[in-house]
Structure 1
Amino acid sequence: MDSYTQFLGSKIKLAEDAGFDINPSSLHPSSLPHQVDTIVWALKKGRALIGSSFGLGKTHTQIELLRAIREERGGYVMIVCPLGVKHQFTEEDGPRLGVRINYVRNDAEAMVSDSPFLITNYERVRDGHFSAEFLAKLTAVTLDEGSVLRSIGTDTYQQFTKLLKSVPFRFVCTATPAPNKYKELIHYAEFLGVMDSGQALTRWFKRDSQKAGNLTLHPQHEADFWLWVSSWALFLTRPSDLGYSDEGYDLPELRVEWHLITEGESDTHVDKRSGQSEVFASTKGNLQAAAREKKRSIPARVEKMVQLLQAEELDHWLIWHHLEDERRAIAEAVPGVESVFGSQDLELREKLIVGFSHGEFPYLSTKPEIAGSGCNFQKHCSRNVFLGIDYRFEDFIQAVHRTHRFQQKESVQVHIIYTAAEEPIRKELEAKWQRHNELMETMRGIIKTYGLSHQAEKARLTRSLGVEREVAQGKRYTCVHNDCVAELRTMADNSVDLVHTSIPFGNHYEYSASYNDFGHNESNDRFFEQFEFLVPELLRVLKPGRIAAIHVKDRIRYGSVTGNGFMTVERFSDQTSDAFEKGGFVFMGRNTILTDVVRENNQTYRLGWSEQCKDGTKMSYGMPEYVLLFRKLPSDLSNAYADEPVVKNKEEYTRGRWQLDAHALWRSSGDRLLSPGDIRNKSLDTIGKWFKKRNLSHVYDYEEHVRLSEELDSAGRLPSSFMMLPPQSYSEMVATDVVYMRTLNGEQFKRNAQNHICPLPFDIVDRVIRRWSNEDEVVLDPFGGLMTVPFRAVTLGRRGYGIELKKEYWQAGQVYCREAEYKASVPSLFDLLDAETPRKEAA
């Protein structure tokens, strides 16, 4: 096996076991079969996610995990839980299992605890009540209801990942996540030390180039993704998922009743740009209108709530609300109600939650985000009333499951009060609820496929290693389906006239399901390690003195990955230059290609106008793209000409054109800047063309540029999805006129075929080919994608050679090349007329 094959094989990774084996008979005899399997598996993993449905005994499982680890490794062990949950550990399951668990609020209390089993809440860890030094001494930590890690960028996620990184045994125990909650899963993976979240996003998911955070799991990655997840996570919806009886685990009946309140007024909104007034018959698509409607209808909704409470004989109710005004209205209308809210002292909030779970008072009023996770109210309560609704389904369903869970003995009622204007919110909630139920069934299928009973399949991933070479060839093009390193090794020395490609951006994207994929690397260092196999081969096949033109851009580094809390830039273009120089090329310079900052911000949220107004120090510049120019040394260094030079005809490439190219200065025509009145009613296309011409022929005036943009904005003519008036450059070294819509993705869309992640614009390719190659020469792209470079090479009278690993791209690309060759070979009507003329004369 050669070194390249060995390198590819080293990419195959699963979560490695970091724990120890235990004899199941040593566990507490009250442990149920599905709990025993879970505990044994988790101890073996050492760091794992346990996703169990409500009522399957996560509290019992966590205590037994920590007891076994304490007996094996010693030291302090800690449970971190939501408010109102600790009594389940300290007063119920702990004593039942013979484990004394002490509640501690800071380092000092922990250090004097008479038990090594500690428990605290998330807020105290997040807010710094425990030092990093103390937390680093823990042997094990388990996060009860780990949903606090769901939202990347929150204080909780960043703090916990950093503070608990060195704890040897780490577990997250939470409700079974929906299978489409990909970000939630990969954030758990990062906390557990399985994989960096940025790496996981790159490896498994297709990113939306138009909108940041919109992720889709690549179909070809789905099986591998779940195999990987199942190497560190276990999901249970019921005992039968692990082959055991579901007796005693039947969910009670759930009755949902919607109560429509007809009182309320219309909501009028004035559009700032059009000046038109609009009366909203509903709150659809307007969060501000929804908030106003909710606040306005409080009296009517509270009245309906009181009627529901009085109509039931049962005297324990959970009253869920969203607004502080609602809480105050509830307190006035319901005698004996206790309220839990955010500004309360933590100890009082927990006391009230525990008191209600014990049945000490009849009514508890709170928000879903405060008591919707972790709290068990099923022993004394089976009635819920939601005083209102909003779009946050996750909070809603979590709140419902505080009473609708295993071990609930009564049928559960959920009463939801809403107004006519909130009908769209109701429809969306019901649709999400239906989708949630479908996803839970999907999860059951995933569990049965990848659960504990399928360890044999986990020993391997289904990614392919190696490629079966396929070739599509015409007279002027060659399209190869292969690993580019392997393909280049078959090519003759000095056989290529120009190398032009857009290289993968490190591990930022993963293009195929193959381990050969350059994007399938855990870090940039590993990417460039694979790159070291490629560059020497490019140097070998390129003719002496010829050019490698490499399209590249720097990379965004997200604050959640770096720990900085804000986005920074990785100098990927410089790293690429270093790699080519290391491989034997010489660096000749770079051409800068300006991009649309509005589109970029829609993709990354890195340049936000609102954030710039809050604190300009967080904001940076738009990210240009570059064409890096490298040269293979010619054989004869006395004049430094290429062995086969790229020659231009002086009749076509005139002295005047050369002087303008060399000097890169465009003189003014004296035309004036149009007034706002001149442009107000012109089309966007006309405005854009005029602005470009004006910008290149006059001394640039920043304030004029701003005033023009502001005038367009005030007239409602400044687009928010792309940049209407980008700065222009005098220099040929800065390209400002690349049309990013002109790519082969346009043809892919027409054919309903898969788009390329990062299509290369024709403008860039054409300029490179024309400038650094002669007609009929070979232009090579080792990362062919949709074969844009060979396609344009054929169109421009060259010979294209493209190599692509992803078969779908290769199949599409060869069609484009074949069509280009056909068009180039078909004579035009004038050609036919010219051909016929001599024959007519001869006749």
Structure 2
Amino acid sequence: MSAFSPEEQKLLIQAEYGQFLREKIKMAPLKGFDVPLEQINPTLKPHTRDLVRWGLAGGQRGIFASFGLHKTATNIEIMRLIGVHRPGLRLIVLPLGVRQEFVREAAKRFTGEYAVKLQFIRTTAEMVDPGVIYMTNYESVREGKIDVALCRAVALDEAAVLRSYGSKTFQEFLPMFESVEFKFVFTATPSPNRLKELIHYAGFLGVMDTGQALTRFFQRDSEKAGNLTLYPHKEQEFWLWVASWAAYLQKPSDLGHSDEGYALPPLDLRVHELASNYDAAGAEKNGQGLLIPNVAMGLSAAAGEKRESMADRVAKAVELVLARAPGEQAIVWCDLNDEQRALEKALAAAGVTVSSLDGSQDPDHREQLMDDWRERRTDVFLSKPVMYGAGPNLQQCQLMIFTGIGFKFADFIQAIHRIFRFGQDGTCRVHILHTEVERAVLASLMEKWRLHDDAQAMMGNIIRTYGLDKLSMQDTLARTIGVQRQVAVGEHFTVANNDCVLEALEQADNSMGMILTSIPFGNMYEYSPSYNDFGHTQDNAQFWRQMDFLTPQLLRILQPGRIYACHVKDRILFGNVTGAGIPTVSPFHAEAIFHGLKHRFDYMGMITVVTDVVRENNQTYRLGYSEVCKDGTKMGVGMPEYILLFHKPQTDRSRGYADTPVTKAKPLCQGDDGTPVDFDRTLPPIPGTGYTVARWQVDAHAFWRSGGNRLLGAAELASYGPAKLAKMFTELSLTNVYDYELHVGVGEHMLANKALPATYMSLAPGSSDPMVWHDIVRMRTLNGEQSARAVEKHVCPFQVDVVDRLILRYTNPGEKVYDPFSGLGTVPVRAVKLRRYGGGSELSTSYFADQVHYCQAAEREISIPTLFDLVALDQKNAS
């Protein structure tokens, strides 16, 4: 017997649960060391010294300081102090053309007792002295020439250039640097328009697993894999979380210092529209010629437009260069190799000296060309933004020309900030050349610029509000714990807006006839901004820790001998996150089974609900046809859903019956004389008058049946087309002996006729096994009602068919069916409609308001008499 009264036990659980919720507030961990301010190089600016202390204390941080705020000096000082306090190999990874920036900065600010030794290397063999701060280019790391695992500290300078290599390189960098103790990311333009880039930085730094971060903050597009958007209710938390490991600094005053000397120069942006070539307008799909080129162009069309207009754009760029003041230098950006060659020739013909840098040149030759321009031995610096648009400080120049425009805003804005930065003395004149049909591209670029400025301003507000204090951010987020309890009561339902653990504590012992719910699938989805949300967990282990508070309460409130039906689904783990190289599966349903057993439920088996493998692949790319053709071992199988059936032990374990059994009425049978006889007699029952042996067989056993008729041939079936065949094929697979080769043959005939759908599976086999449900209508959820009412849909709705079958199978009329995660109210609503009593709890206030609406509508519906009710009433009155 417990030493605590029931009320004391309840208070104790509430206290322990509250502590658990506070532990869920995760900001970036501190993995560094403290350095007194007096040990930091006094020649650095005050805001730089703040960033150095903050970065060293965190140990794994991003420093996103604006252009001209001394990121180079910050980087060198962090590395210097790590060498003092935590000796080991140190490496700074740089974009092309930047190493001389570090050499100049070291000579200017790091002298005397703060002196550092920098050395540029290309191979691991050169990295031998812990007293040296080594530098290398991204290319050497990407090509495996440098073993970064040997380093104790690594910094990525201008890490945004990784975008140019594609997401694959981003992902490869994560495991490559995993063992490095101190890691830093420096960039002035972490793209707020590409939030996934920030997730990659967090993964690289070790702040949070990329998959976990994507799950926590982003909602997935069910129609297309990789299309992620930030949950609206998670926006504040996301940016506070980012601010806990990344310092967005727009100016020194963001950290309380003077902005004297930090004023951006004027920016004179000039746009030049050139005429398009109407002869190259092309034609519509129907062959009708176009009068002007199509402005809604994609990448391929844009490249074609660039080539068509190259001569005009080169001529205009040369004209602008020649119009510069005497002795003035210029920067000219281009995108195509042919364009660069044409500019070289045209500028040389006009008597203009050029430092033209491209990827085919030796790195040392490129460095020499850049030095020639820096020393004013050449007039024009010519290259591509994708190569030299990030990193180099080119502010000795005030004239910049974009020979063309593209879709990549990050490259565009980085290139502009080579001259538009703190410390620039003159007005920055930026010329943008585009053709008439590229107006939409220009408009898109300008819109992204506006969004970029808005996001930068928001991050500036955060750092001005909280400074570099992580604890004050945690206090703000702690306010999202808890919800003001509301209870809605009807004649046939009681539902609450509350945390499911706290609400379950309010329920009486042995009060529920059934518990039916779809638990969150770990942290696959988050349903609300509250830390009470079970989906807001770090990993499966933390999720099951939170379930440890709920499941004992479910056992307590369920009647002895009754069923707890738990809907779950396994989770896909992507190879680039796990390091496995292939998509694997987290057996979440198996964890759920052992969790239920741990809390003293009996396990009764599971029902499988099949899903559409084609739609699944469109969402995940996990079962890609092309990849399977390359190597069949990469493919697993589609991911079904499961209903796990748990049983609360009955009071009398010597008998197999629940304390209150769920009974089925046997049908009346009819003898030759028309009088009723017992069900157990050999005469057949009257169909539809009760629970028959035939129905019992379907409920309890698998069976297959076949007919003698010939199966339709593959070509005959394929002729029906995907729309009709989707239902027909499933029905045929149930009424005939299954033939695998016929199944494939039908699909191949449809493929030959170009009729095999790519968005859904039109040839899904049916299942005769009652423990495998193939006929669940995926779209039959309360989200249909939500759409009709133009209100927010549930991110993971429960199918009505599943709920109805389980309620009818495992409860008696009038009994209470409870769902601790009731969402839009599918379980209580269906319980009411099936003449049971609905109950549940929901954390989201908006979902709760919707479920109350649906519960009340269900009550009104069952209160309205039908025609059959009126006939029965008349017959009763007549008798």
| TM-score, scaled to structure 2 | 0.87
What is the match of residue 759 of structure 1? Answer: 797
1:698 paired with 2:736, answer yes
CA apart distance, 1:482: 2.3
What is the match of residue 709 of structure 2? Answer: 670
1:334 paired with 2:373, answer no
Out of 495-504 and 612-621, give the one that drifted further: 612-621
User: 1:151·1:184 contact (CA, 8 Å) conserved in 2?
Assistant: no
Alignment of 1:762-777 (within 5 A): 762-777=800-815
Distance 1:318 1:216, change over 3 A: same
Distance in 1, Cα, partners of 2:720 & 2:316: 53
Task: Note the alpha carbon deviations across 1:610-659, whole angstroms, 9 max, x for none.
Answer: 54455554443221111122222334445523332222233333333444
Distance in 2, Cα, partners of 1:539 & 1:453: 43
1:548 paired with 2:564, answer yes
What is the match of residue 731 of structure 1? Answer: 769
Alignment of 1:224-235 (within 5 A): 224-235=237-248
Distance in 1, Cα, partners of 2:578 & 2:823: 30
Distance in 1, Cα, partners of 2:831 & 2:233: 31
**Counterpart residue type for residue 787 of structure 1:** G
What is the match of residue 378 of structure 2? Answer: 361
Distance 1:359 1:742, change over 3 A: farther
Task: Note the alpha carbon deviations across 1:757-805, whole angstroms, 9 max, x for none.
Answer: 1111111111111222222122111111111111111111111111222
Distance in 1, Cα, partners of 2:792 & 2:361: 53
User: 1:27·1:36 contact (CA, 8 Å) conserved in 2?
Assistant: yes
Distance in 2, Cα, partners of 1:698 & 1:152: 54
Question: Would you say how many aligned residue pairs link Structure 1 and Structure 2?
Answer: 832
Distance in 2, Cα, partners of 1:454 & 1:507: 24
**Counterpart residue type for residue 770 of structure 2:** E
Distance 1:465 1:423, change over 3 A: closer
Task: Note the alpha carbon deviations across 1:662-695, whole angstroms, 9 max, x for none.
Answer: 343243473753786887686x643433333233
What is the match of residue 4 of structure 2? Answer: none
Q: Match for 2:434 among 400, 418, 438?
A: 418
CA apart distance, 1:399: 1.8
Distance in 1, Cα, partners of 2:835 & 2:99: 75
User: 1:51·1:235 contact (CA, 8 Å) conserved in 2?
Assistant: yes
Task: Note the alpha carbon deviations across 1:722-749, whole angstroms, 9 max, x for none.
Answer: 3333333333322222222211122223
Task: Note the alpha carbon deviations across 1:128-151, whole angstroms, 9 max, x for none.
Answer: 22225522xx2x322211224569
User: 1:356·1:377 contact (CA, 8 Å) conserved in 2?
Assistant: no
**Counterpart residue type for residue 482 of structure 1:** N
Distance in 2, Cα, partners of 1:324 & 1:342: 10
What is the match of residue 276 of structure 2? Answer: 262
CA apart distance, 1:818: 1.4
SS of residue paired to 1:198:
helix
Out of 515-524 and 252-261, give the one that drifted further: 252-261
Distance in 1, Cα, partners of 2:117 & 2:162: 27
**Counterpart residue type for residue 363 of structure 1:** V
What is the match of residue 291 of structure 1? Answer: 303
User: 2:561·2:658 contact (CA, 8 Å) conserved in 1?
Assistant: yes
**Counterpart residue type for residue 81 of structure 2:** A
**Counterpart residue type for residue 293 of structure 1:** E
Distance 1:453 1:730, change over 3 A: closer
**Counterpart residue type for residue 329 of structure 1:** A
User: 2:161·2:390 contact (CA, 8 Å) conserved in 1?
Assistant: no
User: 1:84·1:351 contact (CA, 8 Å) conserved in 2?
Assistant: no
User: 2:27·2:470 contact (CA, 8 Å) conserved in 1?
Assistant: no
CA apart distance, 1:419: 3.1
CA apart distance, 1:65: 2.0
Alignment of 1:129-208 (within 5 A): 129-135=145-151, 138=152, 140-148=153-161, 154-208=167-221
Distance 1:358 1:587, change over 3 A: farther
What is the match of residue 825 of structure 2? Answer: 787
CA apart distance, 1:86: 0.9
Alignment of 1:680-691 (within 5 A): 685-691=723-729
What is the match of residue 102 of structure 1? Answer: 119
Bigger radius of gyration among the two? 2
CA apart distance, 1:169: 2.8
1:281 paired with 2:297, answer no
Distance in 1, Cα, partners of 2:603 & 2:341: 70
User: 1:550·1:629 contact (CA, 8 Å) conserved in 2?
Assistant: yes
**Counterpart residue type for residue 96 of structure 2:** L
**Counterpart residue type for residue 738 of structure 1:** I
User: 1:546·1:631 contact (CA, 8 Å) conserved in 2?
Assistant: yes
Distance 1:763 1:270, change over 3 A: farther
User: 2:243·2:462 contact (CA, 8 Å) conserved in 1?
Assistant: no
SS of residue paired to 2:457:
helix
1:242 paired with 2:281, answer no
SS of residue paired to 1:452:
coil
1:534 paired with 2:550, answer yes
Distance 1:450 1:181, change over 3 A: farther
Out of 43-52 and 448-457, give the one that drifted further: 448-457
User: 1:586·1:630 contact (CA, 8 Å) conserved in 2?
Assistant: yes
User: 1:249·1:407 contact (CA, 8 Å) conserved in 2?
Assistant: yes
Distance in 2, Cα, partners of 1:386 & 1:332: 17
CA apart distance, 1:756: 1.5
**Counterpart residue type for residue 306 of structure 1:** V
SS of residue paired to 1:172:
strand
What is the match of residue 143 of structure 2? Answer: 127
Distance in 2, Cα, partners of 1:23 & 1:635: 66
Q: Match for 2:849 among 796, 805, 811?
A: 811
**Counterpart residue type for residue 255 of structure 1:** L
Q: Match for 2:656 among 640, 654, 657?
A: 640
What is the match of residue 675 of structure 2? Answer: none
User: 2:43·2:109 contact (CA, 8 Å) conserved in 1?
Assistant: no
CA apart distance, 1:235: 0.9
Distance in 2, Cα, partners of 1:613 & 1:356: 52
Q: Match for 1:209 among 222, 239, 251?
A: 222
What is the match of residue 390 of structure 1? Answer: 406
SS of residue paired to 1:790:
helix
Distance in 1, Cα, partners of 2:661 & 2:252: 74
CA apart distance, 1:122: 1.8
Distance in 1, Cα, partners of 2:533 & 2:770: 34
Alignment of 1:441-840 (within 5 A): 441-452=457-468, 456-459=472-475, 461-613=477-629, 615-651=631-667, 652-660=690-698, 662-668=701-707, 670=709, 673=712, 685-702=723-740, 704-706=742-744, 708-709=746-747, 712=750, 718-828=756-866, 831-832=869-870, 835=873
User: 1:178·1:440 contact (CA, 8 Å) conserved in 2?
Assistant: no
Distance in 1, Cα, partners of 2:40 & 2:613: 59
Aligned-pair identity (%): 46
**Counterpart residue type for residue 71 of structure 1:** V
SS of residue paired to 2:562:
strand
Out of 671-680 and 365-374, give the one that drifted further: 671-680
Alignment of 1:32-111 (within 5 A): 32-98=45-111, 99-111=116-128
Out of 555-564 and 822-831, give the one that drifted further: 822-831
What is the match of residue 31 of structure 2? Answer: 18
Out of 693-702 and 780-789, give the one that drifted further: 693-702
CA apart distance, 1:568: 1.6
CA apart distance, 1:355: 4.2
SS of residue paired to 2:659:
coil
User: 1:601·1:607 contact (CA, 8 Å) conserved in 2?
Assistant: yes
Distance in 1, Cα, partners of 2:421 & 2:28: 32
Output the aligned Cα RMSD.
Answer: 3.1
